[in-house]
Chain A
Amino acid sequence: MSIPKLTTQSVQATAKFCAAWAIVAMLFSAANAADWGTLKGRFVVEGDLGEAAAVNANKDPEFCGKHNLMDEAIIVGEEGALANVFVYLYLKSSKTVEIHPDLEKVDTEPVLLDNKGCRFEPHALVLRVGQSLEISNSDPVAHNTNLTPTKNPGFNQIIPNDSPLAKTFEKRESYPSPAACNIHPWMKAYVLIRDNPYMTVTAADGSFEIANLPAGKHEFIFWHESKGNMKNMTFSGGKTSRKGRAKLTIPAGDTLDLGDIKVSPSVLGK
């Protein structure tokens, strides 16, 4: 196949054509400025889950033993606030989503995952395709980080103190991928890798917010590590499906507030 030579004429013509398009595009984006909205809410556990179990820190007990480690599978704060729920936009594998101009560029700052006090910090995090995940070890004991994604290649690497391990990923995952340390088997973390910015993890107060979503009807996934998809969970104006998803309409220039989403212990397998 031969490549057509670019004549000066054709370059000029292309330039004009592009300029025209740029104006059209500008008009469009101006018209669309308000066509973005926000989703927010808060997860609250209803009912008693009992106390989180203490970790038997029998590996490196002389160091790990002094951190009063607790099982972090379910972290419930005041008034039942449920942390570490992943909320994100569901997309079929063949689909992509329009991304707000402010969010188009993938952050050049790495997302940090530290091995600290014989646990992962943070415990749950989101990462965009192309963004760097920087794994470090702040402990005086050895840790390995064993990440097992589904679509992306995994790794299982010893993490030394002096040089953090930097990783980037190329493919969108459907669910959060588990990270483990094989030396300290209680250590777990979850990393959600997506090719768009519409994802978050609930904070210690159970709240979440995803801003600058394209307005309109979307399906969202609600996922918690204890039982995965948060099935059949009711909230004001809706219910999650058997797959832990809900179709929600994001209002243009406004916020859809799901309010307090009540999580019964059975959703968490309790």
Chain B
Amino acid sequence: MNQNTMKQKLNSFYLLACLVAPLVTVGCSSSGPPEFRLDMVKMVSEETPTAQEYQQEIADVLGALFGTPDEPFALPETGLNAIQLQMAAGSAWSDEKGYNHGLYRKHCVHCHGITGDGRGPTARFLNPYPRDYRPGVYKFKSTYNADRPTDEDLHRVLVNGVPGTAMPSFSLLPSSEVESLVEYVKYLSIRGQMETALTNFVFDELGEEEAEDEDGEPLLDGDGEPVLRRIPFNPAEDAEQQEVVADLLAEIVEGWDAASEKIILPEEDQIPAEERSDEEIAASVDKGRELFYGTRANCIKCHGPTALGDGQQDDFDNWSKAHKKFLSDVAESHKGEPTEDSQEFAASRDEVAAMIYPLRNAIPRNLRQGIYRGGRRRLDIFWRISAGIPGTPMPATGSAAPGGKGTISEAEIWNIVDYVLSLPYESPSRPLKALPANTEGIVN
């Protein structure tokens, strides 16, 4: 406990020191060193419309907390390794010892973008789009659905790539470089999550306030209207805001720190034996098929009756859903009468809407191709089916948290793993069992 309080004190000391340090202005200039960009969809959205003064203040605070793409900075409480960040950041060059710097800009930026928003120059032409790291959500990982990935998870993705997508394998890079890149991906995620948290805070708790006199009575102007006062977002000079910023950062970092405790570890006695007879495997595949088409696991609904991925095809992933909502709000706002709010943001909304890449549906995987984006080991497929694929429609069937209970048992998940792995070899024309017949009985 003693140690903890020490640590907390230390942390807020660092936080204060960095918040009062001279701030870098983060504007938009076309020349000069690359800069992190704010998420403009969020800034001008109907949920959190953020006035330009606040946008600048948020950028300033983020600049103080995280530095710039050339000079990344991480507070000790983030647990991020500053040396690794330095290796990954900046422009690409090699020092006299032969160490490579600027790894992110050399290998990743043309797809994932300077800010990690998944909007590099190449991104528009890719399907699926490169990952936007900013929400901190990753698809192919060992942890429960809602949890962050572990370092090993990100490391595995970098080494293997994501087969069947544009995401290449970086297995030829030395392990130390991959580790620096993993650190940098986490850094961009934490920065992005922090941006969202700060923007929510500014909208929820700052803004214009009716000024009050000493007695708590509203101040009125000459026309009897309340006098409005803008509350600046300046944690360096406001102890309460500083505490909020520290808390928000701590919460985000905690999520990343906890990942290693959130790994889905299959129960030993449920894992099928290495050496199984053909009959045993066939029996397990049969059970898996039953579940796949049955009403409990119901994979058929999305992956389709032939598992070609042709079931539910008109849904979107969470990244696209945010853009879809924004676009439809903008389209609607052109219909109604303009309000105070819509007038302030109308021009920038149109501008931001025009920059959004075409929306693409989240298509369930064609399971007959035998290409597994998150890895082809049995354990990989087990994790996908148990935890679902975060950020996408694919739901979890296993427990949602350590010690919890899944909607189907682990033994059943392993049966489905066997079935999924057999699918590329099963003839699609094999007659399917009739759909579950209990639809008739229950009627409202």
| CA distance in complex: A63, B439 (Å) | 7
Q: For residue A138, which residues in chain B have a CB less than 8 angstroms away from its CB?
A: 442
| CA distance in complex: A227, B207 (Å) | 20
Other-chain residue from A1, A158, A269 in contact with B297 (beta carbon distance below 8 A): A158
CB of B53, distance to nearest CB on chain A (Å): 15
> Helix, strand, loop or mixed for chain B's interface?
loop
Other-chain residue from A1, A144, A243 in contact with B395 (beta carbon distance below 8 A): A144
Q: For residue A151, which residues in chain B have a CB less than 8 angstroms away from its CB?
A: 251
Q: Report B235-261 CB contacts with A as 1/0, cut-off 8 Å.
A: 000001001100100010000000000
Q: Could you say which of A12-20, A24-32, A160-168, A195-203 contacts chain B?
A: A160-168
On whether the beta carbons of A156 and B46 are closer than 8 Å, the reply is: no
Q: For residue A209, which residues in chain B have a CB less than 8 angstroms away from its CB?
A: none
On whether the beta carbons of B341 and A157 are closer than 8 Å, the reply is: no
On whether the beta carbons of B396 and A231 are closer than 8 Å, the reply is: no
Q: For residue A243, which residues in chain B have a CB less than 8 angstroms away from its CB?
A: 203, 207
Which of B208, B314, B442 is the most central at the interface, judged by chain A CB atoms within 10 Å of its CB? B442
A153 at interface, CB cutoff 8 A: yes
Q: For residue B390, which residues in chain A have a CB less than 8 angstroms away from its CB?
A: 156
| CA distance in complex: A35, B145 (Å) | 45
> Helix, strand, loop or mixed for chain A's interface?
loop
On whether the beta carbons of B396 and A158 are closer than 8 Å, the reply is: yes
A234 at interface, CB cutoff 8 A: no
Q: Report B308-346 CB contacts with A as 1/0, cut-off 8 Å.
A: 000010110010000000000000100011011100000
Tally B residues with Cβ within 8 Å of A: 55
On whether the beta carbons of B396 and A161 are closer than 8 Å, the reply is: no
Q: For residue A228, which residues in chain B have a CB less than 8 angstroms away from its CB?
A: 46-47
Which of B2, B208, B401, B439 is the most central at the interface, judged by chain A CB atoms within 10 Å of its CB? B439
On whether the beta carbons of A269 and B200 are closer than 8 Å, the reply is: no
Q: Report A136-156 CB contacts with B as 1/0, cut-off 8 Å.
A: 001111101010101101111
Are A140 and B244 also in contact (CB < 8 A) when A93-B204, A156-B396 are?
no
B1 at interface, CB cutoff 8 A: yes
Other-chain residue from B146, B247, B408 in contact with A153 (beta carbon distance below 8 A): B146
Are A156 and B388 also in contact (CB < 8 A) when A94-B244, A140-B295, A174-B204 are?
yes
On whether the beta carbons of A155 and B442 are closer than 8 Å, the reply is: no
Q: For residue A5, which residues in chain B have a CB less than 8 angstroms away from its CB?
A: none
CB of A129, distance to nearest CB on chain B (Å): 15
On whether the beta carbons of B204 and A117 are closer than 8 Å, the reply is: no
| CA distance in complex: A185, B442 (Å) | 22
CB nearest neighbor in A for B405:
A163
| CA distance in complex: A221, B206 (Å) | 15
Are A158 and B442 also in contact (CB < 8 A) when A141-B295, A231-B339 are?
no
Chain A, interface size: which category? 35 or more
A92 at interface, CB cutoff 8 A: yes
| CA distance in complex: A155, B386 (Å) | 12
Q: Number of contacts between A and B (CB, 8 Å)?
A: 122
B427 at interface, CB cutoff 8 A: no
Q: For residue A116, which residues in chain B have a CB less than 8 angstroms away from its CB?
A: 444
On whether the beta carbons of B393 and A93 are closer than 8 Å, the reply is: no
B142 at interface, CB cutoff 8 A: no
B127 at interface, CB cutoff 8 A: no
A102 at interface, CB cutoff 8 A: no
On whether the beta carbons of A182 and B393 are closer than 8 Å, the reply is: yes
| CA distance in complex: A20, B269 (Å) | 58
9 inter-chain pairs at a CB distance below 8 angstroms, sorted by A residue, are: A59-B301, A94-B243, A151-B251, A158-B407, A185-B312, A228-B46, A242-B207, A242-B341, A247-B210
What residues make up the interface of B, taking CB atoms closer than 8 Å to A? Answer: 1-2, 46-47, 145-147, 200-201, 203-205, 207-208, 210, 240, 243-244, 247, 251, 295-298, 301-302, 312, 314-315, 318, 332, 336-337, 339-341, 388, 390, 393-397, 400-401, 405, 407-408, 436, 438-439, 441-444
Interface contacts beyond A138-B442, A142-B301, A156-B396: sample of 15 additional A-B pairs, CB < 8 Å, sorted by A: A1-B1, A94-B243, A94-B244, A140-B438, A156-B390, A157-B407, A158-B296, A158-B407, A160-B296, A183-B302, A185-B315, A231-B339, A231-B341, A242-B208, A266-B339
What residues make up the interface of A, taking CB atoms closer than 8 Å to B? Answer: 1, 59-60, 62-63, 66-67, 92-94, 116-117, 138-142, 144, 146, 148, 150-151, 153-161, 163, 165, 167, 174-175, 182-183, 185, 227-228, 231-232, 242-243, 247, 266, 269-270
User: Which 6 pairs between the two chains have the least Cβ-Cβ distance?
Assistant: A142-B298, A153-B146, A182-B393, A144-B395, A156-B395, A183-B301
